[in-house]
Amino acid sequence: MPAKGQDYQFLLLDGSGEIVRTISPNDMTFNLVENRERIERTGTRHSPLDQTITGWDGKASFDEEDFVLDDLIQGIQDGYFNGQKIEDMEILHTKYIPELGATRTYRYPGVKIGYNENAGGQKDKVSKEIDWQSGPREILA
């Protein structure tokens, strides 16, 4: 049975781990970051496959409706150039499967982001995109 809905949020945390702000994108992608390569062994033709998993990454897109995302990016940039620690971020990702009456929530800790903006003409919709990376995800519920 396919999932029938998903919610995702970026959570900005203060130094004590309390949520300072929540930002919800229009859509997101979630990709397992991994590397696969063949192991070459002397004296055999068999080359087993080795896999390394390093975490998760993806993209989140937003429509320009206010300056919340601009303020976040400006704060990260200004903090970095002033020698301040970049804010802690997490992603919460919840999947719903109504046929089972079940939900599952994943937490992606230690999120770091990049930023892209696409602005056409004065009357065109402005779309913004965040590239993100995190370590291993955790199942919360």
Phi, psi for 103 (deg, rounded to 5)? -130, 160
pLDDT in the model for residue 99: 86
What lies within 8 Å, CB to CB, of 134 at 6+ separation is 55, 56, 57, 90, 91, 108, 109, 110, 111, 112
State the amino acid at position 42 in one-letter form.
T
pLDDT in the model for residue 9: 93
Write the DSSP string, 62-110.
Answer: EE-SSSHHHHHHHHHHHHHHTTPPPPEEEEEEEEEETTTTEEEEEEE-S
pLDDT in the model for residue 67: 83
Left (φ > 0), alpha (ψ -120 to 50) or beta: where does 17 sit?
Answer: left
pLDDT in the model for residue 98: 87
pLDDT in the model for residue 47: 75
pLDDT in the model for residue 1: 45
What lies within 8 Å, CB to CB, of 137 at 6+ separation is 56, 93, 106, 107, 108
In the chain, where the domains are located: 5-34+53-139
Residue spans of the chain under pLDDT 70: 1-4, 86, 141
CB of 71 closer than 8 Å to CB of 64: no
Give me the residues paired with residue 12 across strands.
21, 89
Fold of domain 5-34+53-139: Pnp Oxidase; Chain A (2.30.110)
pTM: 0.80
